[in-house]
A and B are shown apart, each in its own frame.
Chain A
């Protein structure tokens, strides 16, 4: 799959933002006044900034309002509704803390759970794709949720919880990669089923339908990045999880914490890039490519 920058930025920063909103809503930290304003501003800049970035890959972003209509079947529609609901709930909860100094605890819990709902619905957009066997697995939503809660814990300064969640995320990510590597093959879709010509013999793409490229090949067939996948996986685990955990375990200082955040963000950006670049769409089979 084509790793579109807008979608990678959205997944990374909105995940962090909604993770922070989750912890704020759950009352893991209950700031008031100006300090509350700063906390919520950080969360909203990340969450909303990511959402705005995600509209850059749309052909007609001005029609985005129509995307709230098909929640019965579409995970993207559910994501949009969930995002608006979570942001409104948390805005009211945040306003209570900032302006009145009161904690509307129930509202916070509803908003916090809805924030995770956004992350879950996002992950299901990918996990539902039968055409991308690597994504169609429980590890996809599990990884999205763990990353969001872990990143949120880091941003909200819950050092011990963040460290535990990062270790869990690292282990789950390694499992997700290892199990994902064989899933295309075991999905049962191959050139023989794609063309229906398997009963004659081995199928080989002889000539593509065109001399140039096309939308399908740009969007779904991405081979260059996979060349360095192994190194990128090591970089991901190192930056997203190992280095932040080490930095968090050292005696606390704001510089080390800031470094941990930067390292985690860089690692998650790499992780997300790999999430797309390594995912193979079955349509590549028609081109004899993966």
Chain B
């Protein structure tokens, strides 16, 4: 049924630390690897080694430049996958009931044998978390590695989403965001975790932790000011050189 279940007590999701992410895309690769070989239709590629490669991914890492009013710009790597929203608009638009949100832990999944590939759920998602697989004709999305997290055949340390398990920087955290006392909830409270596009009213479960402010560059060389290559005050040897060269024919003013 594509009616949303009542909010679950357990809300499994990810916390992504934008301060720590180094933009290595390891989570993208491990996600594609796990989800191609396991649950559901494989994530296909088209023209993978040709001139115009394209493929299905459940997790992608963007990079943004943020320019504060004063100071240096910051480069922020920004992994993005399904946020397993509480008010998931992708679920209610589905005409077949293929798209659903689990009542027990809040994971949003697609029953691929019911999916007609109409694409409406991808239209309804503001985050671009769903991609229609070009080969299989069904909608693919992050499953929160539902086939890992409860899998008792795996060693306990592997019972977390592939992206979290693989992240070399420790920028991804998995847990129950419905439990105030869970590690992820505490992390969100401590670091001021936020929602993406809160105005869309989707109530995402996944949270993002903001980058910390950039450090001030310390003055480490006391001679540096004397070696300034540009004479901003027009005095001294460099100032004279600047004026002299400017007065030559064709000299830069």
Contact = CB atoms under 8 A, between A and B. Distances in A.
Contacts of A69: 95-97
Given A63-B116, A206-B63, A220-B128, 5 more contacts: A58-B116, A60-B138, A73-B92, A189-B126, A214-B56
Contacts of A200: 66, 68, 74, 210-211
B93 A73 contact: yes
Contact of A204 (B61, B64, B118, B201): B64
A240 B74 CA distance: 50
Contacts, number: 199
A281 B123 CA distance: 8
15 contacts: A59-B136, A63-B114, A69-B96, A70-B96, A73-B92, A189-B126, A189-B199, A191-B64, A193-B198, A204-B64, A204-B66, A205-B65, A214-B56, A219-B122, A219-B123
A67 interface: yes
Given A128-B93, A210-B60, A58 B118 contact: yes
A128 to B, nearest CB: 7
Nearest to B213: A200
Interface string B116-131: 1111101111111001
B75 interface: yes
B99 to A, nearest CB: 9
A271 interface: no
A71 to B, nearest CB: 9
Interface stretch (A129-137, A163-171, A257-265): A129-137
Contacts of A128: 93, 124
A202 interface: yes
A80 interface: yes
B115 to A, nearest CB: 7
Interface of A: 1, 57-61, 63-64, 66-70, 72-77, 80, 125, 128-132, 187-189, 191, 193-197, 199-216, 219-220, 281-283, 286-287
A87 B114 CA distance: 25
Contacts of A283: 125-128
A130 B119 contact: no
B55 interface: yes
B93 A60 contact: no
A187 B201 CA distance: 12
Contact of A196 (B57, B93, B118, B196): B196
A189 B132 contact: no
B210 A67 contact: no
Contacts of A70: 1-2, 94-97
Interface centre among B74, B200, B201 (most CB of A within 10 A): B200
Interface in B29-75: 52-57, 60-69, 73-75
A189 B197 contact: yes
A89 B195 CA distance: 48
A70 B25 CA distance: 38
Interface in B155-212: 194-201, 208, 210-211
Interface in B106-152: 114-120, 122-128, 131-134, 136-139
A72 B71 CA distance: 53
